[in-house]
Structure 1
Amino acid sequence: MWSPESEINSIAMATTMRHSQSSSSGISSLSSCGDPERLPELPPGDEQRLQRAALHLQQKLILREWLRDHRLQHHYQRLLAVEVASLEDVYWLEDSRATKILGKDWQLWSQARQNLPTSKAQLDALKAQLWSTVVKSSQHQDAWTWGGMLVVSVSVAGLVTLAAMTQPSLAPEARHSLLQYVTGKYLLPANCKVQWDWNDPTAVGGTMCFVVRFFQRNGQPYPICDTDQFFVEVTEGTRKVVTISELGSSTDPNNANIAKVKFTVRTAGQYKISVLIGSNHISGSPFTKTFVPGPIDARRSRFIRPASTVICCAGTPTMLHIEPRDEFGNACNFDENDDPVKGYRVEIFDLNGETIEKLHHAIVFNYDRVNTRVAVTALFPEPICLRAVISYLEQKLPNGDFDIIVLSGSDTTLVHKNIASRKHNICYEAKLLSIYGTPKSKPRKVLCYVGPKQVTIKEMILKFIPKRIATFRLCPST
C-alpha cells in the first residue's frame, strides 16, 4: 500500500499543496536559499518515531475523508475523543456509544459502516483511494513543478523540525529556535565525550577526576552553564558517592565547554558513573570503573585466633588466620606474581621474656587464595608455655601479641574429655613459679580448680589440707 519512507513525503505533499499560495517568484526565492542535501538528519530512533507519528496522522486524514464522503465530517472531533482515529476503529465502536455521539446522524453512520469492506484487501484498497483523494484535493496542482518539489522538500524539513521541537519524545534535545535546530547549534548529549585521568583498574584512596567535553550537534564546542541541567551520579551498589562538579573555566575561554568532576573512593569494588544532561545520558554513559584495594596496612589487618591464649598439642599443627587489609579496611588482593606472605614476621619468647630462636620456624605463613587470607600454622615439638608476637613490616598486628600453651597428647585428650563432661570444679596440677610478681626460689606444686565462673589456685599442706592462694573470675567468653 505505502512504504514507510514515503509517508512523510506524501503528508508533506498534501499539506503543501493545500496551503501553498506561492507564486513563481516565491518558489525561486526558496530555491535560492534552501538546499535539501544540507538539512540535518535525525537519529534513527527519532526518525522511526516520526514515521509512526506520520502514519498515525495519515490514518486520521483517511478517516476524515471517509466521514466527508458520508456527510459526517462534523463528528470528526467527537470520534477522536473516544479513540476512533482510523477506519479500523470504526468497526469496533459500539452502537450504544455511537448513538450518543452521532445523535440524529446515527442512521447515516450505520449505513456507512455497513458499506465498509469485510476483507483486509478491500479495506486497504479503500484506504488507498481515500488517501489519493486527500493528496489530490489541492487547489494549486499547477504549481507542482520542480520549484514546487523543492517547496515540498523544505516543508518536509519543517514538519520534521516542528515535530521534534513540539514533541519532546521525538527529540528531547531540540528545545531551541528553529534556526538553531536546523543549523545544529544546540547541545547534543550524544556528541559529548569523557576524558579519564586514571587507568582502570586503579587503587582506592585517591581523589579521582575526569573531564566532560560538551559539543553541539554540528560538532562545535558548546559552552556549558548551570541551566543545562548537567548531572553526575557515582554509585557502588546501593551506596552513592558525593561528587563535586566545576563547569567551564574562569581563566581560559577555550575551556568553556568542559566540566571537571571529582570524587573520592575509599571502598574497593565496581562503580557505575552516570553522566547526564537533563534525563539523557551522554555517549557511553553509564560508565563502569573498577577500584581495587591498596597495599597491606598492619593497623587494619586482622589476626584471627579463638581466644586470648592459643592452646596447641605437641606434634599436631594448629591453624590460625590473618586477614590482610588496606588502610581503609578493604580485603587485599594479590596477583600471581606477588608474594602475599612477604613482610610477615613472628617472634617467640619464653615466660621470662627471652627470645627462643630455635622455635621461630615453628610458626609458618602460607597464603590461602581460595579464602584470600594468610594461613598461620603453629607446630611445636614438645609441651611448653610461650608468648608470640606477629608483625608486618616491623609493625605489630592487632591481636598479634598472644600466649601459647603447648600440651602433650595425653593432656590434650584429658582437657577435651573434661570439656565434654558436665562436671564442675575440675582440678589440674600445675607449678607455681611466682606470686604477686615475686618469683619463687623453688617451684611449688599447686592445684588449679576450673569452675563455670572462676579459677581457684590451691596449695596442699601436708598433702591433704587445701590452702587457697588466689581466685580469678572468668569472662563469659573464655
Structure 2
Amino acid sequence: MDRRFFLTFLLCSVLWIFFWEVRWKKGKESKIEEWLERHSLSQYRHLFEDVQSLEELSLSVLSRLEEVVKEQQRWREIEEAHIQQLRDFAFQEWLCSQKLEHYYHTLKTLRCMNLDDLSQFDNQLQLSLAAWGYYYEDYIKLSTGIKILQNSRGSRDQDYEIRLVHSLSVRRLNEKWTIEGALIFGCTVALCFLIRDLMFYVIGGITVSIIAFVFTIKFLCELAARVVSFLQNEDPGRRGDRSIYDYVRGNYLDPRSCKVSWDWKEPQEVGQTMSFRVQVMIYS
C-alpha cells in the first residue's frame, strides 16, 4: 500500500510539472509568433527556435537579425520595436521590484509607457490619479520610487534596462510551476486513491461549499435589493416587490415596481374632459 501511494504521488507530481511546462511553453511560443508577425518578421522564425520567452527574444533579437536584415529603413523599424519592447519589460520588472506591479495597467492608461515617462510624474494630480483606488502605502511607494528615478536619471542607461529585463526573464522562468504545488497535487491525489472514502469527502466537501457559497451570495443580494427598494420608495402602499435579478434580466418596467400619479386633485366634477400625458422613467 505504501509503495502504491508513493508511485501515485510521484506520477501525479510529474504530471503536474509536465502540464505546466507544456502550458507555459505553448503560451510563450504563441507570444513570440505574435510579436514576429506584428513586426513582419515571421520569415525569420527559424532564427529563434531556441528562444523560450518574449523577454529572452527582446534581449537577442538585434544580434540575430543584424546579419540577415540589410535594408537600413527596415533595420531602424526593428530597432525601434526592440527598444520599445525592452523598455516595457524593464518598466514591468521595476514595478515588481518596488511591489507595485498592480500599477502597470493603471499607469499605461495614463500614457506612462516606460521608466522615463514615470520619472516625469512629478505632478501631484498625476500621482493621485495613478494611486486612485489603492492603499496609501502604495502611494508612498510610488512617490518614493519616482523620486529615485528622477535622481538616477543620469546614470540610468540601456544596460540598466537590460539587467532589469534579464531579471524579469529569470523570474518568469522560475514561476512556471512550484514544487509546493506539485507536492500538494500529488499528495492529494495519492491520498484519494489510497483512502477511497477520502475522495468522496473531498469532492463532496468542495461541491457543498460551492453550493452554499452561491446560495449565500444570492440571499445577500436579494436581501440588499429588497432593503434598498423599501427605503427608496416613499409610498409604503406602493413599494415594489422587485429584486436585483429584475435588473439582471432587464425587467426595468415590472408593473410591481411602477407608480402612477396624476397632476390633478381629487375629486373632479363629472362630465369634464381632461387630457393627460404619461411619462415612463427608468432608474438604472
Query: TM-score, structure 2 length as denominator?
Result: 0.34
Work out which structure has the larger RCO, using CA pairs closer than 8 Å and 6 or more positions apart in sequence: 2
Query: TM-score, structure 1 length as denominator?
Result: 0.21
Structure index of larger Rg: 1
> Comparing both structures, which one devotes a greater share of its residues to helix?
2
> Comparing both structures, which one devotes a greater share of its residues to strand?
1
